[in-house]
Amino acid sequence: MALDISPLPLPGALVVRPQRYRDHRGYFAETYVLRDYAAAGIPNVFVQDNHSYSAACGTLRGMHFQTAPFAQAKLVRVLRGRILDVIVDLRRSSSSYGRHLPVELSADGGEQLFVPAGFAHGFCTLEPSTEVSYKVDAVYSAANDCGLNAADPELGIRWPAEIKEKLMSDKDRALPSLKELPIHFY
C-alpha cells in the first residue's frame, strides 16, 4: 500500500492520502492496512468504525473528544460530499494548546485526517448528503464523552461564511468554552 503522509502544523496531526489505482471503471484504494499505517508512523489499532450522514449543507458536528481511559485517536475520511474538518489541541503541555486547524476533506480527494488523542474534533458539511466515516482506537464511553463549543470566540474558528445557519444538535450548542473546560490532557 502506498501512502502519502503530510504532517500538519499541530503536532501529531497528519493528512494521509492512500494511493488510488485507476482504470476505465473508476478506482480501487486500500483505505486502511494496519501494518502500512504503523510503518508510516500511525501505530494505533482501531477498534470501532463510525459513520455519519448529514442531509443538509451546513450541518455542524462537534467539537467532540473522549477522556482517559477511553481517549480516542481518529482516522477520518469522507465517503460522499465534502467537509471542513476542524481539530483543536487540548493537550495542556503542547506548544499548540488551544489552537485549531481546519482541513478540507472530500470524497473526490480521498484524503484522510489522522487526529491524535488529546484533540477535540468536529466538522461542517460543505455539500448536502455528506457521509463521513471514521475509525477510533477506543470504544465509545458515555461516561468519558466530552466536547468543546464550536462557536467559542476564543477558539476563533471561522466556519464557512457562505453557510448562514449552522445545523447543530442541542447537545453541541450547550458544550463549554475552552476557558470553562477542565484540563483533561496534559
Quickly count: other Cβ atoms within 10 Å of residue 174's Cβ.
10
- What pLDDT, on the 0 to 100 scale, is given for residue 167? 87
Q: Give the CATH number of the domain where residue 93 resides.
A: 2.60.120.10
pLDDT score of 165 more than 70: no
Q: Which domain holds residue 127?
A: 46-173
Span 49-76, pLDDT tens digits: 999 999 999 999 999 999 999 999 999 9
Residues annotated catalytic, as ranges = 64, 134
Span 91-143, pLDDT tens digits: 999 999 999 999 999 999 999 999 999 999 999 999 999 999 999 999 999 99
Q: Are 59 and 130 in contact (CB under 8 A)?
A: yes
The answer to whether residue 77 sits within a structural domain is yes
The answer to whether residue 5 sits within a structural domain is no
Span 10-58, pLDDT tens digits: 999 999 999 999 999 999 999 999 999 999 999 999 999 999 999 999 9
C-alpha cell read off for 98:
488551544
Q: Hey, is 120 helix, strand or coil?
A: strand
- What pLDDT, on the 0 to 100 scale, is given for residue 2? 84
Q: How many domains does the chain have?
A: 1
* Model confidence, pTM: 0.94
C-alpha cell read off for 145:
464523552
Contacts of 74 (CB under 8 A, 6+ apart): 113, 114, 115, 121, 134, 135, 136, 137
